[in-house]
A = this chain, B = another copy of it.
Amino acid sequence: MLSHDQIWSAIDGLAARYGLSPSGLARKAGLDPTSLNRSKRVGPDGRLRWPSTESIAKILEATGASLDEFMANLERGGRRAPRGLPLLGFAQAGQGGYFDDGGFPAGTGWDEVAFPDMGDDRFYALEISGESMMPLYRDGDVIIVSPTAAPRRGDRVVVRTTEGEVMVKELKRRTVRTVELRSLNPDHADRVLSLADVSWMARVMWASQ
């Protein structure tokens, strides 16, 4: 299912992502600046105007946006259901009836959890190097990071300082002026940073095992 509204929303989403107005995005894509005007999306007779695939291709090329990014905006427009996995509390796992002989989920009693539950988020991945974050993260482990999810106390976060240092820590405390970070390796001391020294902070969502 693909709707007129979805497509235009996706285009608007791209424009917003790249800090452009519709006319700015059109201009950047080599289209006429008025071609993405809201006023031109429905004709005077009520007939819907569908942007051409060629225009979309030009937009993607000019912004450098991936097909996936455009697609993500399309899906948002379509209210796609999240993909869920069977979920069971670990304490129940030892009771009978939850797994079949091959170790697959079976029976009733399983909940559902959204995974990977990216939503509108644009996750990225970092590959750990070295052993400084053992035992939590080993050399070669991959962490999945959300630049937009709001970290709370106890969350693992990627922090970049204004000096350019990037670190992974656990968020211990946050005040109006400072952020206190606990090292993942107990041998290293906690850090307290002034928020003015923090360029950005992103939340670790998943870690590979």
* SS class, residues of chain A in contact with chain B: mixed
Query: Per-residue CB proximity of A1-31 to B under 8 Å, as 1/0?
Result: 1111001000000000000000000000000
A84 CB, nearest partner CB in chain B, Å? 8
Residue of B57, B67, B78, B166 near A50 (CB, 8 A) is B57
Q: Tell me if B206 and A99 are in contact (CB < 8 A).
A: no
Q: Tell me if A200 and B103 are in contact (CB < 8 A).
A: yes
**Interchain CA distance A199-B7 in the complex, whole Å:** 41
Q: Tell me if A67 and B60 are in contact (CB < 8 A).
A: no
Residues of B within 8 A of A96 (CB): 164
Contacts A2-B53, A94-B164, A115-B142 known; list 16 others, CB within 8 Å: A1-B66, A3-B57, A4-B53, A52-B53, A68-B83, A71-B71, A86-B124, A89-B126, A99-B160, A103-B160, A105-B124, A110-B124, A203-B209, A204-B209, A205-B208, A205-B209
16 residue pairs of the A-B complex, CB under 8 angstroms, read A1-B57, A1-B66, A50-B57, A85-B124, A87-B124, A89-B126, A89-B127, A93-B160, A103-B201, A104-B124, A113-B127, A115-B206, A155-B209, A204-B209, A206-B209, A207-B209
Mark A residues whose CB is within 8 Å of B.
Answer: 1-4, 7, 48, 50-54, 56-57, 60-61, 66-68, 70-71, 74-75, 78, 80, 83, 85-91, 93-96, 99, 101-105, 110, 113, 115-116, 122-130, 135-136, 138, 142-144, 147, 154-156, 158, 160, 164-166, 168, 199-209
